[in-house]
C-alpha cells in the first residue's frame, strides 16, 4: 500500500506519466459482449433465466437484517455459494442456520472480518475463492451512522464513519475485483448507499454519514468506468429509511413519525422491499446496468 510519502513532489509533477482509463469496445471477444436476445417459448424458463443469479457472492454486513434478506433472495434466484463477511456473524447464527437448511445444495459460509483492514480483507477474499471457487458478486451492506451536531462532532467519529462506510467499501471492492480479474469471468459489485447520498436528512444531523454515502456514489461511478473492460459492473442501491432494529426504540419515535409524514408513501420501508433491486443488479437482467444507482425509498427524495 502506498503512503502519502510516495506521492510525487511538486518538481516531479511536470514529468509524471498519467495512466488513462481504458474502455471496452463491446465486441464479441471483449468482456462486455451483447447477450443473445431470445424470447423463450416456455414462460417459466424465460422468467427464471431473466433474473438468474449465477456463481458465488460475498456479502459484507450480511449478518444484519438487510443483508440477511438479500442473501436469502439471491439464493432463491440461483446463487450457488455465499460468503458472509461480518464483524460479528454469530449474532445471526440462528438465521444463517435456517438459511443453510432452506438451501441445502448451496454452500453458505461466514468469515469474521473488519472491512477497514485491507490485509484481512484480501486474505478473506482469497479464502473465499479457495472454498467457493470464485467471487462473482460483491454486495456491500456494511455501514455505521452517528447522529450528532456537527459543531460537537469529534474528528475521530468523522474518520471512523468514513473509514467504515466509504474506505471499507473501496477495500472490499478492490480486493474482490482483483479476484474477478484473475478468474477472467467478470462480475457484479453493488454498494448499498442511501438517500442520505442524495439530500440532507431531517430532522437528525448526521453529516459524516451523509458525506460517506455520497462518496459511495462517486466511487461506484469511477469503478464502473474503470472496470467495465474486465466485465465487472459496479452499481449501487440507495435505500430510504428501513424498518430495522437500527431504527427502533422510544428515543427516535418522534423521528420515525417525521420520516413517515415526509414520505409520499407514509411509512418506512420493509427489508424485503430492498431485495428486488439487489437481485436485479446481480442477475442476468442487469447485464447492461453499470454505474447505476437505484433509489428505493417510497418517494422520500422527491421532496
Instruction: Establish if 41 belongs to a structural domain.
Output: no
Instruction: Establish if 15 belongs to a structural domain.
Output: no
Mean predicted confidence (pLDDT) in 86-106: 97
Instruction: Establish if 21 belongs to a structural domain.
Output: no
Instruction: Establish if 58 belongs to a structural domain.
Output: yes
Inter-axis angle of helices 155-162 and 207-227, nearest 10: 30
Mean predicted confidence (pLDDT) in 58-65: 96
Mean predicted confidence (pLDDT) in 266-280: 96
Band of pLDDT at residue 294, cut at 50, 70 and 90: very high
Ramachandran region, residue 280 (left: φ > 0; alpha: ψ -120 to 50; beta: rest): alpha
Band of pLDDT at residue 246, cut at 50, 70 and 90: low
Q: Three-class SS of residue 154?
A: coil
Band of pLDDT at residue 247, cut at 50, 70 and 90: low
Among the ranges given (33-42, 89-98, 174-183, 244-253), the one the predictor scored with the smallest mean pLDDT:
244-253
Contacts by residues 217-220 (CB-CB < 8 Å, ≥ 24 positions apart): 217/193, 217/293, 219/166, 219/169, 219/170, 219/173, 219/191, 220/191, 220/193, 220/291, 220/293
Instruction: Establish if 30 belongs to a structural domain.
Output: no
Instruction: Establish if 223 belongs to a structural domain.
Output: yes
CATH of the domain at 64: 3.40.50.720
- % of the chain beyond a pLDDT of 90: 85
Look-up of cell digits 473465499: 128
Q: Specify whether the CB–CB gap between 85 and 61 falls below 8 A.
A: yes
Band of pLDDT at residue 274, cut at 50, 70 and 90: very high
Query: What angle is formed at CA 179 by the lines to CA 188 and CA 229, rounded to 5 degrees?
Result: 55
Q: Which domain holds residue 239?
A: 50-302
pLDDT tens-digit readout, 150-165 = 999 999 999 999 999 9
Alpha-carbon distance of 278 to 66, in angstroms, equals: 10
Instruction: Establish if 172 belongs to a structural domain.
Output: yes
Mean predicted confidence (pLDDT) in 14-42: 92
Instruction: Establish if 34 belongs to a structural domain.
Output: no
Band of pLDDT at residue 248, cut at 50, 70 and 90: low
Average pLDDT of the chain is: 94
Residues in the chain: 303
Q: Three-class SS of residue 79?
A: coil
Instruction: Please tell me the total count of domains within the chain.
Output: 1
* Residue 3 predicted with pLDDT over 80: no
Report CA Rg, the chain.
Answer: 20
* Residue 131 predicted with pLDDT over 60: yes
Q: What is the pLDDT of residue 251?
A: 67
Q: What is the pLDDT of residue 12?
A: 73
Q: What is the pLDDT of residue 249?
A: 64
Amino acid at each position: 500500500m502506498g503512503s502519502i510519502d510516495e506521492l510525487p513532489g511538486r518538481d516531479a509533477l511536470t514529468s509524471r506519466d498519467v495512466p488513462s482509463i481504458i474502455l471496452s469496445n463491446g465486441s464479441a471477444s471483449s468482456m462486455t459482449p451483447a447477450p443473445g436476445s431470445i424470447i423463450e417459448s416456455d414462460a417459466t424458463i424465460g422468467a427464471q433465466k431473466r433474473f438468474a443469479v449465477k456463481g458465488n457472492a460475498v456479502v459484507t454486513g450480511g449478518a444484519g437484517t438487510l443483508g440477511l434478506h438479500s442473501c436469502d433472495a439471491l439464493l432463491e434466484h440461483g446463487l450457488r455459494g455465499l460468503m458472509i463477511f461480518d464483524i460479528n456473524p454469530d449474532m445471526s447464527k440462528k438465521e444463517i442456520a435456517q438459511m443453510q437448511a432452506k438451501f441445502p445444495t448451496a454452500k453458505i459460509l461466514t468469515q469474521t472480518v473488519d472491512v477497514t483492514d485491507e490485509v484481512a480483507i484480501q486474505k478473506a477474499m482469497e479464502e473465499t475463492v479457495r472454498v467457493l471457487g470464485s467471487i462473482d458478486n460483491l454486495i456491500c451492506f456494511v455501514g455505521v451512522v452517528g447522529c450528532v451536531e456537527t459543531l460537537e462532532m469529534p474528528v475521530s467519529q468523522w474518520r471512523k464513519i468514513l473509514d467504515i462506510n466509504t474506505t471499507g467499501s473501496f477495500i472490499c471492492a478492490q480486493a474482490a475485483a482483483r479476484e474477478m480479474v484473475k478468474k477472467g469471468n467478470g462480475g457484479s459489485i453493488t454498494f448499498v448507499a442511501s438517500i442520505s447520498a442524495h439530500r440532507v436528512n431531517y430532522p437528525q444531523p448526521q453529516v459524516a454519514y451523509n458525506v460517506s454515502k455520497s462518496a459511495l456514489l462517486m466511487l461506484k461511478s469511477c469503478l464502473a468506468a474503470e472496470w467495465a473492460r474486465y466485465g465487472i459492473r459496479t452499481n449501487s442501491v440507495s435505500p430510504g429509511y428501513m424498518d430495522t432494529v437500527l431504527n427502533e426504540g422510544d428515543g427516535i419515535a418522534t423521528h420515525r413519525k417525521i420520516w413517515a409524514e415526509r414520505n409520499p408513501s407514509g411509512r418506512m420501508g420493509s427489508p424485503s422491499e430492498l431485495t428486488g433491486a439487489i437481485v436485479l443488479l446481480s442477475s442476468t437482467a442487469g447485464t447492461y446496468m453499470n454505474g447505476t444507482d437505484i433509489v428505493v425509498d417510497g418517494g422520500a427524495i422527491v421532496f
